[in-house]
């Protein structure tokens, strides 16, 4: 079954290169590239990759600091029908399987001995010079409108590593097509030509997905950084931006954003969006603020609105199940299980884990909550992050958000031991130099007054986090247990 070519990034670029060749497709800050120029670059890199031997079904690992180059390489790999993986998203300590699966590597420099000596390793800067000397013809440019199939594996991705161990999966053209359609309907209205401001490199799925959606509607991908966001929004106010909760909070606390112009929309990734932060985003940063409930395995699941209720996206089904995977009625708390066209098929190189979490087209999440109606749900949080207070599960975020407002507190995470008959609560505080221990302890005790005799504070200079900014609570608990043993 052939895919509608409008959903392929390279095919979209070719289409707009013919109809609006002088419109900018990518603004890297230093250089702007038109749709015509980007089409030429993709065609050249496609030819170069074929010359080194890359073919349909191969896997190539890519690591480069040049985000435009990385994006062009990804699209060139897709033209060939091969699969790309961002090596910067690979946990080199625990992921030899994914390194061995690669047939080729393109890297900034050879810095790790675990890159297989039997595979071809290319240095990015040297590869750029090779490509610059290539000549291409019209037929090679037209190859950007390549045949693509729904079950083609476009790229390999990894989970955020919140639990400490990254898991990897295959992302097919079908899943990417479904996500692209959703993003276009939510953020990239075709008549308005909404641009996409890219603040993260391509190890973050939101960068790739947002970029492909923007290319589909013929708008511009704009590379920016938090420190340059003022200037970027002044130049491109009619844009969509993806931000982690941590970075949105950073912008708020440090008053980074002062532009009088507002974005068209901002999507907050990775965690629950506090009401105070949502209000700031709506007042100062964007006309439309979306907090997505999503996962690496199931893609975009629901929009969590200001009332804390998740509203399912089209074509997504959610059921709540107990520990025996039996469906529960509305209102009863259990784990969410998801069915979606964005769903991956399982975890690579781990049949046992795949069997545990994937069954009959459904994915069993690690998130707890309950359904209100067929299309509405209440998300309590990750099951392993709920506080275990004498056998009663309590969502920590309602208390954490209040503690974060205490002067001197940069971040807060409440954790409890898995076996916790005494109902202990470990209050982990990431603080700045202005924080006064006694005041923080007093105010925290008032917030947690119902559990005042069960709390113990631990101060951290910095929390262990994933790349996307999620706190690794398991590692926090390990550090606490180590301190308790001393």
Q: How far apart are CA 240 and CA 184, in angstroms?
A: 11
- Mention the CATH class of domain 388-485: alpha beta
Average pLDDT of 149-177? 86
Least confident of 105-114, 140-149, 393-402, 445-454: 105-114
Average pLDDT of 465-470? 76
Q: How far apart are CA 245 and CA 398, in angstroms?
A: 16
- pLDDT band with cut points at 50, 70 and 90 for residue 163: low
The CATH number assigned to the domain with range 5-223 reads 3.40.50.12780
The CATH 3.40.50.12780 portion of the chain extends over: 5-223
Residue 1 has pLDDT above 50, yes or no: no
Segment 327-341, tens digit of pLDDT? 999 999 999 999 999
Question: Is residue 361 left, alpha or beta, with left meaning phi > 0 and alpha meaning psi from -120 to 50?
Answer: left
CA 256, 296, 212, 123: dihedral to nearest 10 degrees?
90
Residue 365 has pLDDT above 60, yes or no: yes
Alpha carbon 406 to chain centroid distance? 29
Closest Cα to residue 466, out of 248, 251, 165?
A: 165
Residue 4 has pLDDT above 70, yes or no: no
**CB-based contacts of 411, cutoff 8 Å, min separation 6:** 404, 429, 430, 463, 471
Average pLDDT of 379-388? 88
Mean pLDDT, the chain, integer: 89
If one counts every other C-beta atom within 10 angstroms of the C-beta of residue 399, the result is: 21
The CATH 3.30.300.30 portion of the chain extends over: 388-485
The whole-number pLDDT of residue 469 equals 74
The whole-number pLDDT of residue 172 equals 94
The whole-number pLDDT of residue 427 equals 95
The whole-number pLDDT of residue 259 equals 65
Residues, the chain: 486
The whole-number pLDDT of residue 486 equals 53
CA distances (Å), origin 353, targets 161, 278, 336: 15, 36, 17
The CATH 2.30.38.10 portion of the chain extends over: 297-384
Percent of the chain exceeding pLDDT 70 equals 92
The whole-number pLDDT of residue 257 equals 62
Domain 297-384 coded CATH 2.30.38.10: yes
């Amino acid at each position: 079954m052939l895919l509608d070519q409008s959903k392929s990034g390279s095919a979209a670029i070719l289409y707009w290169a013919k109809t609006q060749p002088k419109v900018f497709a990518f603004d890297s800050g230093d250089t702007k590239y038109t749709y015509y120029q980007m089409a030429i670059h993709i065609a050249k890199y496609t030819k170069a990759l074929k010359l080194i031997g890359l073919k349909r079904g191969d896997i190539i690992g890519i690591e480069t600091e040049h985000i435009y180059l990385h994006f062009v390489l990804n699209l060139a790999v897709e033209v060939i029908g091969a699969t790309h993986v961002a090596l910067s998203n690979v946990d080199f300590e625990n992921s030899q399987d994914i390194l061995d699966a690669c047939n080729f590597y393109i890297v900034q420099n050879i810095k790790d001995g675990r890159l297989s000596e039997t595979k071809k390793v290319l240095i990015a800067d040297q590869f750029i010079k090779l490509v610059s000397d290539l000549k291409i013809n019209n037929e090679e440019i037209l190859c950007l409108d390549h045949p693509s199939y729904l079950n083609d594996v476009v790229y390999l991705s990894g989970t955020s590593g919140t639990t400490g161990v990254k898991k990897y999966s295959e992302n097919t053209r079908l899943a990417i097509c479904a996500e692209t359609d959703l993003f276009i309907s939510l953020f990239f209205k075709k008549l308005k030509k909404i641009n996409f401001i890219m603040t993260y490199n391509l190890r973050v799925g939101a960068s790739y997905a947002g970029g492909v959606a923007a290319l589909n509607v013929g708008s511009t991908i704009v590379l920016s950084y938090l420190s340059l966001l003022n200037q970027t929004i002044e130049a491109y106010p009619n844009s969509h931006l993806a931000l982690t909760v941590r970075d949105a909070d950073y912008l708020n606390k440090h008053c980074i954003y002062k532009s009088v112009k507002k974005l068209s929309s901002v999507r907050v990734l990775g965690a629950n969006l506090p009401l105070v932060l949502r209000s700031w985003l709506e007042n100062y940063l964007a006309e439309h603020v979306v907090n997505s409930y999503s996962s690496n395995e199931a893609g975009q699941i629901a929009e969590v609105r200001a009332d804390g209720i998740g509203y399912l996206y089209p074509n997504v089904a959610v059921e709540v199940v107990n520990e025996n995977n039996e469906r529960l009625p509305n209102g009863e708390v259990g784990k969410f299980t998801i069915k979606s066209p964005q769903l991956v098929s399982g975890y690579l190189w781990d049949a046992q884990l795949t069997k545990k979490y994937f069954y009959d087209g459904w994915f069993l999440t690690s998130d707890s909550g309950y359904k209100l109606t067929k299309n509405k749900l209440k998300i309590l949080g990750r099951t392993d992050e709920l506080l275990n207070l004498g056998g009663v599960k309590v969502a920590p975020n309602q208390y954490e958000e209040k503690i974060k407002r205490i002067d001197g507190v940069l971040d807060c995470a409440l954790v409890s031991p898995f076996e916790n008959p005494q109902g202990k609560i470990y209050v982990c505080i990431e603080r700045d130099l202005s924080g006064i221990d006694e005041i923080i302890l007093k105010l925290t005790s008032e917030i947690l007054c119902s559990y005042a005799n069960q709390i113990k504070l631990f101060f951290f200079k910095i929390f262990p986090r994933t790349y996307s900014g999620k706190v690794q609570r398991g590692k926090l608990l390990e550090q606490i247990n180590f301190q308790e043993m001393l």
